[in-house]
Structure 1
Amino acid sequence: MDVFGSSGVRGVVGEKLTPPFVGRVAAAAATVLDADTMAVARDTRTSGQLFADAAASALAAVGCSVARLGVVPTPGAQAYADRTGRPVVMITASHNPPAYNGVKLVGGDGTELPRATLETIEDRLLAEDFDLVGYDAVGSSTRIPDAPETYVEELLDRLATDGLRERLAAAEPTVAIDPGNGAGCVTSPRFFRELGCDVVTVNGQPDGHFPGRDPEPVADNLGSLRRLVRSTDADLGIAHDGDADRAMFVDETGSHIEGDAALAALADAELEPGDAVVSAVNVSQRLVDVVADADAELELTQIGSTYLISRIRKLRREGTSVPVAGEGNGGIMFPDYRIARDGAYTAARFLALVADRPASDVVADYSGYAYLRANIEYDHPDEREAMLVAAEKVAEDADAELTTTDGYRLDYGDAWVLVRPSGTEPLVRLYAEAGDRARAQTLLETFRDPMEDAQAEA
């Protein structure tokens, strides 16, 4: 697909992403989904209201009534869709920088639309084939002011069903929350207070300029959260991305917990023999080891939530239990709850592990690997193509097992390296993992050096 990437449509505001374009995406979606009513929601980005208005106008123009949810995390919008059966146009660029925005389409079941449906919508979009209506059939618009509050109540009810709400309330943990000025500001602090936690926050005011930090909750952006954890003796630090469908953690010492270690710990707590875990081709060896020890199966897909969701659905149709899925970026799913990433729910499940022992102990068994990431930016598609040609040459010449599910992954048994183009930004991403940092760095440079040479010559 040319328009919908691995996680919807994203682009720089005023360049790739404009109000007319967002309107056409919404109109195409409404025409294909043929829903009487669709919802529109957004994160806190400065352009969010602009694009939400464009989407709402386009939906009304094709005869679809609009439920305006306002600022709400993506999982909150998904909860609304699941509860009402109404698809949602979610205006968000998730973890991308402030200059970006995007569109994510959610089905009436509360999950992202299947790729086959997205392809049909894209065909309509590119052909500008919309079912516009006359003056007497335009859709109406209704504001739904309680979407965030209802989402929080549903989270609390679910944790009660899981048997975790009472357990967390009894533990009375102190939790430091960094919503990053994003949509999680309107839900996560309240949610954890309602759970009985003592909550302290940083970057807790909704602000689409993201003054506190960039929206991506990577280690380099979480200095304020680490300091807050140390100064308040918090049991756990929780950080979200811009739309709060991801959660990353800081332990009680103020140290960053790698996302792959958190995923491994959560999977280890869930897996039974015969279960399956779905992850992406940049999967950490930590999760590989956990799955093997549990006598479970590991299913790998291309990077991006839509690919994981499709594989989860397929496995569940076949009768395979998939208790947990996700990636090491904090985007984790518990399919028995919902086949969708939910940063607040994931954080609560991790906090339940911390109720028994310190967070540093929870992840101690999943250390021992150095996981490195790097990006190479490009300005022109010719540069991208030249870099990928160079990467292919390195991969074919290497003495390792090659996987081409998504880019080029080389497995050496005790270490691996992956190169793939980003589905949302003008970047080629590199990942490497090994038992020590020096070897992981060497693996990265094995690809990066010839790729940068090829980019310079393009």
Structure 2
Amino acid sequence: MEIDESIFRAYDIRGIYPRQINEELAYKLGRSFATFNKGKIVVGRDARIGGEVLKENLIKGLIESGAEVIDIGIVPTPLIIFSIKYYNFDGGICITASHNPKEYQGFLFYNKEGIGIGLENGLEEIKENVRSEKFTEGKGILLRKNILQDYINFISDKINIKDAKMKVVIDCGNGVASVVLPKLLNRFGIEYFPLFCSLDGNFPNRDPEPRMDNLKALQEKVVELKADCGFAYDGDADRVVGVDEKGNVLTPNQFFCVLIKSYLENKKEKVVHDSLSSLTIDELVKYYKGFPIGCRVGHVFIQKKLLEENAAIGGEISGHYFFNELFGADDASFATLKVLEYLNKKKIKLSEVYKELPSYYFDSIRVKTKEEEKFKFIENLKTEFKEKNYKIDCSDGVKIIFDDSWILLRASNTEPKISIAYESKTEEGFEKLKKFVNEIVKKIPK
């Protein structure tokens, strides 16, 4: 089969539906994955358009290559990881394009450890199987399973919220957070107001990606209802953004710090963070006598590092938060409950938690570029910065390290964009970085 190379990213497959992602590809990916990863395979999907027909063809391919398929329906992506580990399945696939615009579809693959399969640990082989069409022949079976109650019970055993006198607003963004989150909040007696909590693959109310600029409805509702806080989710509920009682949107770094405090106040733990994270993360972990561990950007890499190091929690600047006690899953619903648990235990407002943190000057942007040019652009920057004798780290893109500031530039693995993050401990230093960044942005191929 002829393959569009651009849909195979570092740790997943994503493309426009049905031009790049279609029924034929889904079928052959099923054949390929069952050839690559034999046994019991759990399959789920988000609420995107085309998801059901893609799932049907994927399952058909899996069965024809001998897999025992367990269809768990429409679920958040982290429930694939939960299912693999809880029921001892041999692998899993989620049909999702996560936070991408509504035109996109995609596939996430997991091995029997519940770890995402990327180009470095199997996705390249899956691609080659599709290209060559050399598939195992077999006669598998299809089972359907409702896992929600087992999941809710599992999560509930790990959260301690009693006598909760809290009111929260949840913006599900018409994504699959609406499948589980209301049930979890009801379990703990937490009063909530739902926004956009009906499934709709057209995402009519906002983009599937919760951003600072598209959460106005959530911010206003939190203030109007005098709620304690609010939360917004992406399309497949593996990312979350928080809003405090004043309607202010927390940065991912601030949200991560709240989670870190909830874990480290009473126990020294390891914490994994990505290369885009604020200096505040390292400093907070060290303040609690914990152990910060840096990692390249990408959910596959963070999850793997978290499990390898037996860290308690991990986080990405994109709003993914990973939990050891959930098999390394980046579960936005669980992240929400951990924050609420902490607020309930401390009897404090969300704004008071992050107000205690050091306030550095930080910003991040994602600039559109040509897919075929993005990695070359970063390589050219590496050469340029080396020639200028900057102190650089090339473990994930290129990071320039100054005395009290830094700047990181990297090519996105999921979109045709350049990700840029920069931070300074002083306002003067931040303004210098901003000018530096603006000059680089002008050079990015448009």
Give the alignment's TM-score, normalised by structure 1. 0.88
- Note if 1:248 corresponds to 2:241: yes
Q: Deviations over 1:385-410 (max 9, x none)?
A: 55324422453255653111110111
* Mapping of residues 414-453 of structure 1, within 5 Å: 414-435=404-425, 439-440=429-430, 442-453=432-443
* Mapping of residues 29-428 of structure 1, within 5 Å: 29-35=33-39, 37-86=40-89, 87-113=91-117, 115-133=120-138, 137=139, 139-144=140-145, 146-159=146-159, 164=160, 168-271=161-264, 275-316=269-310, 322-355=311-344, 356=346, 357-379=348-370, 381=372, 383-385=373-375, 387-396=377-386, 400-428=390-418
8 Å Cα contact 1:176-1:201 kept in structure 2: yes
> 1:14: Cα distance to partner?
2.5
State the alpha-carbon separation in 2 of the partners of residues 274 and 81 from structure 1. 29
> 1:101: Cα distance to partner?
1.3
Q: Deviations over 1:389-435 (max 9, x none)?
A: 44224532556531111101112232211110010111111111224
In structure 2, what residue type is equivalent to 1:79?
F
Q: Residues 102, 440 of structure 1: CA spacing in aligned structure 2 closer, same or farther, 3 A cutoff?
A: farther
8 Å Cα contact 1:387-1:451 kept in structure 2: no
State the alpha-carbon separation in 2 of the partners of residues 175 and 398 from structure 1. 51
8 Å Cα contact 2:371-2:415 kept in structure 1: no
State the alpha-carbon separation in 2 of the partners of residues 336 and 149 from structure 1. 18
Q: Residues 360, 450 of structure 1: CA spacing in aligned structure 2 closer, same or farther, 3 A cutoff?
A: closer
State the alpha-carbon separation in 2 of the partners of residues 54 and 228 from structure 1. 41
> 1:302: Cα distance to partner?
1.4
Which residue number in structure 2 is paired with residue 319 of structure 1? none
Identity %: 24
Which deviates more, 442-451 or 292-301? 442-451
> 1:10: Cα distance to partner?
1.3
> 1:120: Cα distance to partner?
3.9
8 Å Cα contact 1:390-1:454 kept in structure 2: no
8 Å Cα contact 1:237-1:251 kept in structure 2: yes
8 Å Cα contact 1:94-1:215 kept in structure 2: yes
State the alpha-carbon separation in 2 of the partners of residues 401 and 43 from structure 1. 43
- Note if 1:5 corresponds to 2:6: no
Question: Which structure is higher in helix share?
Answer: 1
> 1:367: Cα distance to partner?
4.8
State the alpha-carbon separation in 2 of the partners of residues 221 and 208 from structure 1. 17
8 Å Cα contact 1:387-1:452 kept in structure 2: no
State the alpha-carbon separation in 1 of the partners of residues 171 and 230 from structure 2. 8
8 Å Cα contact 1:390-1:451 kept in structure 2: no
8 Å Cα contact 1:417-1:444 kept in structure 2: no
State the alpha-carbon separation in 1 of the partners of residues 114 and 442 from structure 2. 42
Q: Aligned with 2:302: secondary structure?
A: helix
> 1:297: Cα distance to partner?
2.7
State the alpha-carbon separation in 2 of the partners of residues 311 and 112 from structure 1. 12
| Structure 2 unmatched ranges of 5 or more | none
8 Å Cα contact 2:262-2:339 kept in structure 1: no
Q: Residues 454, 425 of structure 1: CA spacing in aligned structure 2 closer, same or farther, 3 A cutoff?
A: closer
8 Å Cα contact 2:274-2:315 kept in structure 1: yes
State the alpha-carbon separation in 2 of the partners of residues 49 and 402 from structure 1. 46
1:20 to 17, 24, 30: 24
Which deviates more, 386-395 or 426-435? 386-395
8 Å Cα contact 1:56-1:66 kept in structure 2: yes
Q: Aligned with 1:10: secondary structure?
A: strand
Q: Aligned with 1:169: secondary structure?
A: coil
> 1:239: Cα distance to partner?
1.2
Q: Residues 454, 233 of structure 1: CA spacing in aligned structure 2 closer, same or farther, 3 A cutoff?
A: closer
State the alpha-carbon separation in 2 of the partners of residues 336 and 150 from structure 1. 15
State the alpha-carbon separation in 1 of the partners of residues 70 and 259 from structure 2. 35
Q: Residues 339, 314 of structure 1: CA spacing in aligned structure 2 closer, same or farther, 3 A cutoff?
A: same
State the alpha-carbon separation in 2 of the partners of residues 302 and 346 from structure 1. 21
Q: Aligned with 1:211: secondary structure?
A: coil
> 1:379: Cα distance to partner?
3.3
Give the alignment's TM-score, normalised by structure 2. 0.91
8 Å Cα contact 2:33-2:126 kept in structure 1: yes
8 Å Cα contact 2:68-2:142 kept in structure 1: yes
Q: Residues 313, 64 of structure 1: CA spacing in aligned structure 2 closer, same or farther, 3 A cutoff?
A: same
| Structure 1 unmatched ranges of 5 or more | 317-321
